[in-house]
Amino acid sequence: MLSLEQTAAVLYGEQKYPQALDIYLSLYKKSPKTEKYSIFCGNCYDALGKPAQAIRFYKKASKLNPASTTSLMALANLYYQRGDYKNSEKFSLRALKAEPKNQSALINLGNIAYCLSDYEKSYKYYQAVYNENKASYIALINMANVSFDLKHYALALEHAEQALHLYPSSVDAYIIRGNAYLELGKFKKSEKALINALDLNNQNPWIYNTLSRLYQKLERWDEALAAGWKAVVLEKNAQDEQHINFGYLLYEYTAEKKGPLAQTYAAKWFEKYFDNELVTYMASAILSNKQLNRANAHYIAKLFDSFAADFDSTLAELDYQVPAQIATALKKVYHLPFYVRARVLDLGCGTGLCAEKIKPALGWSNIEGVDLSEKMLKQAEAKGVYSALHQADILEYLKDLSPKYHLITAADVLTYFGDLKALFENITHALGQNGIFIFSISENMTDDSNYTLTPSGRFVHQPAYVLNLLKKCGCKPILSERKVLRTEGASLVYGYIIAAQKEFIIAK
């Protein structure tokens, strides 16, 4: 004859959680000071997908026995799953205090640091697990992954090899091996590792994603596109990320090869994902759609979220000059008395490259930034150059502003709009009397139209269209200089740095 507790354990083992919970709750009521009943109730609630109730019971258990790592780690894991990294860290650290080498606590702390993009710290936690237990596959595969993110490719490879030694059928280890070899320029070895990974699991989209990048490097374009397409179709979770990668692949194919294959894929992509605005925008750009007059906001937010971490270093590699060129233009046209605390608005501020360059010329002015991408804004915030940052679409944001700004800047942002009329009207309205607007445009060198959407998803403009439109909207152009804005592959990207001043309108 089984005791009540044994019956509940059997029911729990058979995944009959509601029945097990009933018994554990009655046991808990009879004996509320018995730690294990609180833990069992917590486990049942957790299994039933009721984290708030589970947390309540784990906290009761933790109060009864503060040194018990079982309840502390249950709490740490539940908070982690909810994305509450602060509380998850708090309970992991308590568990670590109770048991200084607790492996689950160290792994969880490594995961939290990883999610917060603190890769060095994350690596240290995983390494602490490995130092205690050289047979920890989980520590090694995480060390491999973090090393890769830190761009320590040889180390990533070394850890992937160690992980494979422990667990020879690890798909993740083969994927990291393939990626690391790709970054190290060892293409044959990369391909071999990825084929090994495919032999173990041919449904993993990230294997195809890496294969696609590998074939692109080898200029095996047909295979690159086929693998990229497979990655998109197989992806169930990180769909936006795969779509952005595929869109870029189609763009790079178009820029390099100019064959019809990209168009064929773009049409197929558009048709299959017609309800995804990111896809329809990127595919339309490849298909040279003339109807679009601005970039899709969801596309912008996702694209720049994915660029944010590497944005500054990537643009430095592209010799990106626009912020410095805007700062130079500013010195030529902006002559506010030094005692005026200017109000400045940086549209599409990104990571803050423009504010960093113009701030020295603006003294103690307030610079506000507005951008659609949460992750770009996070980087901007860390630089401490803005007095306020707003996550919004600039067109929407400008609508509600009163005319108060002395200066508005937009560095490499108007390229995400084709028709600039509404934007110029709103900017003119937001400028105070004699306020100045300084911005860049990319030059339309492909056709005669005022603006054209290019396969990169960016619009290019005719300077005459921009200058005339400024005048129509009540801003007088006071500077227009043709410049090389940055490089793209082996070519130079030309554009204009333009400054305009809000015209003083005398009421009749």
Ligand X SMILES: C[S@@+](CC[C@H](N)C(=O)[O-])C[C@H]1O[C@@H](n2cnc3c(N)ncnc32)[C@H](O)[C@@H]1O
- Chain positions contacting ligand X, by CB under 6 A: 297, 300, 304, 322-323, 348-350, 353-354, 371-373, 376, 393-395, 411-413, 416
- Decide whether 136 or 373 has the Cβ nearer to ligand X: 373
β 343-347/475-488 pair status: unpaired
* Least spacing, CB of residue 228 vs ligand X, in Å: 24
- Decide whether 354 or 469 has the Cβ nearer to ligand X: 354
Strand-pairing partners, residue 388, are: 368
- Give alpha helix (H) positions in 218-296: 221-234, 239-256, 261-272, 277-286
* Least spacing, CB of residue 231 vs ligand X, in Å: 24
Amino acid at 220: R
- Decide whether 145 or 428 has the Cβ nearer to ligand X: 428
- Decide whether 40 or 299 has the Cβ nearer to ligand X: 299
* Least spacing, CB of residue 284 vs ligand X, in Å: 16
**CA–CA distance from 75 to each of 47, 109, 113, 138 (Å)?**
14, 13, 17, 21
CB under 8 Å, gap of 24 or more: what pairs does 38-45 form?
38/64, 38/71, 39/70, 39/71, 39/74, 40/8, 40/12, 42/71, 42/74, 43/12, 43/74, 44/12, 44/17, 44/18, 44/20, 45/21
* Least spacing, CB of residue 394 vs ligand X, in Å: 4
Residue 87: DSSP 8-state: H
- Decide whether 143 or 376 has the Cβ nearer to ligand X: 376
**Among 424, 433, 406, residue whose Cα is nearest residue 461:** 424
Cβ within 8 Å of residue 262, ≥6 positions away:
225, 250, 251, 253, 254, 286, 455
Residue 389: CB atoms within 10 Å: 19
Cβ within 8 Å of residue 321, ≥6 positions away:
483, 484, 485, 486
Contact (CB, 8 A) for 498 and 439: yes
- Decide whether 148 or 405 has the Cβ nearer to ligand X: 405
Strand-pairing partners, residue 409, are: 346, 438
Q: How far is CA 440 from the centre of its chain?
A: 25
* Least spacing, CB of residue 58 vs ligand X, in Å: 41
* Least spacing, CB of residue 417 vs ligand X, in Å: 7
- Decide whether 250 or 300 has the Cβ nearer to ligand X: 300
* Least spacing, CB of residue 351 vs ligand X, in Å: 6
- Decide whether 160 or 411 has the Cβ nearer to ligand X: 411
What is the DSSP code string of 264-280?
HHHHHHHHHTTT-HHHH
* Least spacing, CB of residue 435 vs ligand X, in Å: 19
* Least spacing, CB of residue 363 vs ligand X, in Å: 21
Q: Length of the chain in residues, anyone?
A: 508
- Decide whether 191 or 412 has the Cβ nearer to ligand X: 412
- Decide whether 111 or 373 has the Cβ nearer to ligand X: 373
Residue 443: DSSP 8-state: B
- Decide whether 240 or 371 has the Cβ nearer to ligand X: 371
* Least spacing, CB of residue 468 vs ligand X, in Å: 22
Angle 198-200-204 from CA coordinates, rounded to 5°: 55
- Decide whether 93 or 297 has the Cβ nearer to ligand X: 297
* Least spacing, CB of residue 485 vs ligand X, in Å: 10
* Least spacing, CB of residue 439 vs ligand X, in Å: 10
Amino acid at 148: F
Angle 325-328-334 from CA coordinates, rounded to 5°: 125
What is the DSSP code string of 293-343?
-B--HHHHHHHHHHHGGGHHHHHHHTT--HHHHHHHHHHHH----TTS--E
